[in-house]
Amino acid sequence: MIEWNKITEKPDKTYKVLGQNLLDQKNKINDLESNLQTTSSELNAARTRQDSANSKIAAYEKEIAALEEKANKYDALTIEHTAVQEKFNNASQELSQAKGQIAQITQTIEATTEKITELSKANIDLTKKLEFSNAQAGEFNTKMLEAQKKVDELNKQVTGLRELNEQNKALIAQKEADTARVQELEQKLNQKDIVLQEKTLAAEEFEAKVKELEPPIPDVSSYELDSRITCPMCNGVDIKDVEDKSKVLSYVGHMPMYSRRHQCKKCGYEWN
C-alpha cells in the first residue's frame, strides 16, 4: 500500500513501491479510462439525439406558425361572414317588404281587371243599346268615350303595375343570389373549421412526440466507479460523484448537463 501521507510530507524523497501496487494502480487507471471512454460515447450519442430533437422542434415550430397564419385567415373570414350575414338580414327584410308590395300590386291588378271586365260588359251593353236607339246615340257615344278613357287609364295603370312587378322580380332574384353567396361562404367557413381542427390535433401530436424524443440525462454514478477511486488526501475509498455546477457541458431541452467531480465522503476533499 502506498503511504500517501508520507509522500505528501516529503515529495522529494524516493520510496520503494511494490510492483503489485503499481499494477493495481495501472489497472485502476485503465478501468477509469475505459469507463471514461464509454461515458464519452454515451454523452456523444445523447448530444446526437438532442440535435435530432432540436431539428424536429424547429420543424414543428414552422408548422405551428403556418397554423397560426391559417387561424388569422379564419378570423378574417369570420369577420367577412358577419358582414355578409348582416347584408343578408337586411336583404331578407327588403325581400319581405317587396313581397308585401307585390301582394298589394297583385290585388290592385285583380281589382283593375275586374273593373275592365265590368267596363267591357258595359261597353257591350251600350253597343247593343246603340243599335236599338239612335236617339240615345250621342249620350251613348259620350259615355263610350268616357269609358274608353277610363279603360286607357286603367291599361296604363296595369302596364305600370306590370313594370313594377318585373322590377320586384329582378330584386327578388338579386336577393336570392345574395342568399346563395351567404350559404357558399358558410360552407367554406365550415371547411376551414374542419381543417383547423385537424391541424390543431396534428400539432398536439407533434408536441407529444417531441417530449417522447427528449433524451434522458445519463447518471454517471450508475457505472460503479466509486469503489475504484482512492482519495488523494486521506487515501479513503468511500468516494461519490457530485455535480460541478460551475461547468455546464450541454443542455437537454431546457435542462443543463453539468460536469461531475469526485468527493471523498471521509474528508470531504473534491477533485476532478
Which residues, 6+ apart, have CB-to-CB distance to 201 below 8 Å? none
Cβ proximity of 80 and 185 under 8 Å: yes
Give the model's pLDDT for residue 239.
92
Sign of the alpha-carbon torsion through 242, 246, 249, 254: positive
What's the CA gap between 126 and 145, in Å, rounded?
A: 11
Residue that is written with C-alpha cell 369570420 in the block: 78
Provide the CATH topology of domain 217-272. Answer: N-terminal domain of TfIIb (2.20.25)
Q: Do domains 54-213 and 217-272 have the same CATH topology?
A: no
Q: Which CATH class is domain 54-213?
A: mainly alpha
What's the CA gap between 104 and 78, in Å, rounded?
A: 39
Work out whether strand 255-264 and strand 270-271 pair parallel, antiparallel, or are unpaired.
Answer: antiparallel
DSSP string spanning 21-76? HHHHHHHHHHHHHHHHHHHHHHHHHHHHHHHHHHHHHHHHHHHHHHHHHHHHHHHH
Rounded to the nearest 5°, which phi and psi values hold at 34?
-65, -45
Identify the H or E element spanning 183: helix 137-213
Q: Which three cell numbers stand for residue 195?
A: 381543417
Give the model's pLDDT for residue 263.
92
- Domain positions in the chain: 54-213, 217-272
DSSP string spanning 69-128? HHHHHHHHHHHHHHHHHHHHHHHHHHHHHHHHHHHHHHHHHHHHHHHHHHHHHHHHHHHH
Cβ proximity of 221 and 60 under 8 Å: no
Give the model's pLDDT for residue 182.
72
Cβ proximity of 200 and 70 under 8 Å: no
Cβ proximity of 169 and 145 under 8 Å: no
Give the model's pLDDT for residue 137.
63
Give the model's pLDDT for residue 224.
47
Which residues, 6+ apart, have CB-to-CB distance to 84 below 8 Å? 181, 182, 185
DSSP bridge pairs for 244: 259
Residue 231: C-alpha distances to residues 1, 9, 34, 145, 263 (Å): 13, 16, 20, 138, 8
Give the model's pLDDT for residue 264.
94
Give the model's pLDDT for residue 233.
92
Report pTM: 0.25
In tens digits, the chain (272 residues) has pLDDT values of 556 676 677 767 766 666 566 567 767 877 888 888 888 888 888 888 888 888 888 888 888 888 888 888 888 888 888 888 888 888 888 888 878 888 888 888 888 888 888 887 887 887 787 777 767 667 767 887 887 888 788 888 878 888 887 887 888 888 788 888 878 877 887 787 787 677 767 656 765 665 555 444 444 444 444 446 899 999 889 999 998 888 888 877 778 888 889 999 999 999 98
